[in-house]
Amino acid sequence: MTSRLNLGCRGSVAVWLAVMLPGLIMAVSLAVEAGSWEAAQMSVQRAADVSAMAGAMNYTTSASNQKAATFAAMMAQLNGGSGTNTPSWNSGTNTLTDNMITAQVISGYATASDTAIKVTVQKSIPAGISQAFSSQTTHTVTGTGVAELINTVGAGSGGQPCLLALSTTGPGISGSGSTYITMPGCTMRSNSLISFSGSGTLTTSGFYAPTTATTCSYTGTADSICIPSWFTLTGTQYPTSGTITDPYASNTTLQSALTAAAALTGTTSVTCSGVTCTGPASMSCSHASGTETCTLQPGNYGSLSTPGGPYIFNFQPGLYSFSGSVVFSGNTTTNATGGVTIIAAGGFTGENTFIFNLTAPTASQAASTGGIAGIALASLTTTTLSLSGSATYNVVGVTYFPNAQFNASGSSGSSSSPAEGSSSSICTEIIASSIVLSGYSNFGGTCSSYGATSFYSVSGTSQQQAAIVH
C-alpha cells in the first residue's frame, strides 16, 4: 500500500512540473530579456552623456554649431550608436540627424545664455519571448544627455592690492621727491604706468602693471614700471599683468549709497568760521580752550567746510552721506574710529594741520549701527582727493574714489609718523583712478577682516567648462 501511495505522489509531481515548466521557462526568459533591455539602456545613456560632453568641448574650440553636433554624433557612433556616413543638418533648429543618433545645439539648462549640446541615442533590440505578449518584433531603448558650457572665472593671482589705480591712461601710480612706501603684505597695482622719480624706498609684495607703456627715461626702453635703479625696492616687478576691473563696481550696497548721496536735496551743511561751527540740530558743539568740539550723528548732510580752527569732530558710528564736498582746511582733528563710513558726492580735501582718524565698520558693526563693511571713505566725484601740508590720514579701511585722483604729494610726514596709514599691519587700501604719493606712507591689505572685498592683482581667466546637466 505504501509503495502505491509513493508512486502516486511522484506521478502528481511529475504532472505538476509538466504543466508549470513552460510557464517557468517563459518567466525566466522574460526576466533575462528585460535585463538585457536595462543593460542596453545603461549603454546608450553612457554613450549619450559621453557624446554630449565631447560635442561641448569641441564647441569651445570650433565655436561652430554644426561641427560640435557632428563631433558629438561621431563620438556616439564610436560608443555603439547606429549612424550613417551622411547625416543631415538642419541649421534652423541646429539639429544633426544621424540615423538613430540626434545631436542638437540648444540653450543652457542652468543658464539660458549658455550653450549646451543635447545628444539622443537610440538602440533597437530584437524581441524574444516578449513577442508572446506584444506584436512588436523589436524593443527600442533611448538615452539622452545634455552637456552645458558653463562660464567660469579661474582664480586670480598676485595677492591683494593696497594701492589700485583703475585708469588705463597716463601715470597710474606715481611719486616724486622723497617717497617711502611700506606695504610688505600687499601689492601696488596699476592699470597703466607705475612711475617714480627722486629717491626713496618702496616695499611691497609686488608691482603689477599692464604691457602697454611709455618710454622710461631711466632705461631708455618702453616699460610699464619705471622706477630708478637707485631706489631701494622690495617686491618683484610684473610689467605684463594686463588690467583688472573695479572690484566694487558690482557692490550694490556701496553703489546705491553713492547714488543716494548724489541725489540728496534739502540737507544742512556743516559750516565753520573762526572757532564756531553750525550745522544740523543733531550736531552738538562746545568750546573749550579756544577749540570747537562738535559731535556728529549718522545721517544726511550737505557739505562740510572748516576754515580757521582749531576744531575737533567726533563722528558717532554709522553712515554719513554728504551731497557736497568735505573740506578740512583749518586746524582739525577728526575722530571716527567706532565704525564709520563717509560717502560724499563731492570731493575731499585735507590740508594744513589735518589729523583724520577714521575706521570703517566691520560687517557686524555695519549690521548694528550702519555704515558699509570695510568702506571708510568713498565718492564717485572726478574732483581730486587732495592731502597737503601737515596731514595725517590715519584711515583703517578702503578709500574708494574710482573716478578721481588720490593726491598726497603735498603732504608731509616721517617714518615714525607717516602721512598716510599708521602701520603696514593695519588695513589701509586706496582705490582711485590714479594715485600720487610722496613722503612716508604705510598700507596694509588686511581689510577682509572688516568685510571688505578680497581680490587679486591679476584677474582670473574666463573659461567655459563642460558639465552634464541632464
Q: Any idea which of 181-195, 251-265, 296-310, 402-416 has the lowest mean pLDDT?
A: 402-416
CA distance 267 to 164: 33
Q: Which of helix, strand or coil describes residue 250? A: coil
Q: How far apart are CA 237 and CA 208, in angstroms?
A: 6
| 177 touches 438 (CB < 8 A) | yes
- CA atoms of 441 and 5, how far apart (whole Å): 113
Q: Read off the C-alpha cell for 16.
A: 505538476
Distance between start and end Cα atoms, the chain:
72
pLDDT class for 119, splitting at 50, 70, 90? Answer: very high
Torsions phi, psi for 34 (to 5 deg): -65, -35
Strands 214-215 and 222-223: antiparallel
**Helices 65-78, 2-62: crossing angle, 10 deg rounding:** 150
pLDDT at 8 over 60: no
pLDDT in tens, 21-58: 555 555 545 455 555 657 778 888 898 899 998 988 89
- The residue-averaged pLDDT of 283-290 equals 91
Residue 11 pLDDT greater than 60, yes or no: no
Angle at 296 between CA 295 and CA 299, to 5 degrees: 165
Residue with cell 560608443: 79
- Asked whether residue 97 carries a pLDDT value surpassing 50, the answer given is yes
Q: How far is CA 449 from CA 84, 203, 397, 401, in A?
A: 62, 23, 10, 21
Most confident of 47-51, 95-99, 256-260, 419-423: 256-260
Identify the residue with better confidence: 467 or 200.
200
Q: Is 153's pLDDT higher than 60?
A: no
C-beta of residue 452 within 8 angstroms of C-beta of residue 428: no
pLDDT for 293 equals 96
C-alpha cell at 434: 590714479
The three-class DSSP label of residue 165 is strand
Average pLDDT over the chain reads: 86
Rounded to an integer, what distance in angstroms lies between the CA atom of residue 104 and that of residue 95?
Answer: 4
DSSP string, 322-380: ESS-EEE-SSEEEEE-SSEEEEESS-EEE-SSEEEEEE---HHHHHHH-S-TTEEEEE-
Most confident of 27-31, 96-100, 377-381: 377-381
pTM, to two decimals: 0.70
Give the confidence band of 83 by pLDDT, cuts at 50, 70, 90.
Answer: confident
pLDDT in tens, 392-414: 999 999 999 999 999 998 777 77
**Band of residue 358 on the pLDDT scale cut at 50, 70, 90:** very high
Q: What is the pLDDT of residues 306-323, one digit of tens each?
A: 988 899 999 999 999 999
Distance CA 38, CA 326 (A): 75
Q: What's the pLDDT at 425?
A: 81
Positive or negative torsion for Cα 272, 273, 275, 276 = negative
C-alpha cell at 222: 618702453
What is residue 455's predicted lDDT score, i.e. its pLDDT?
92
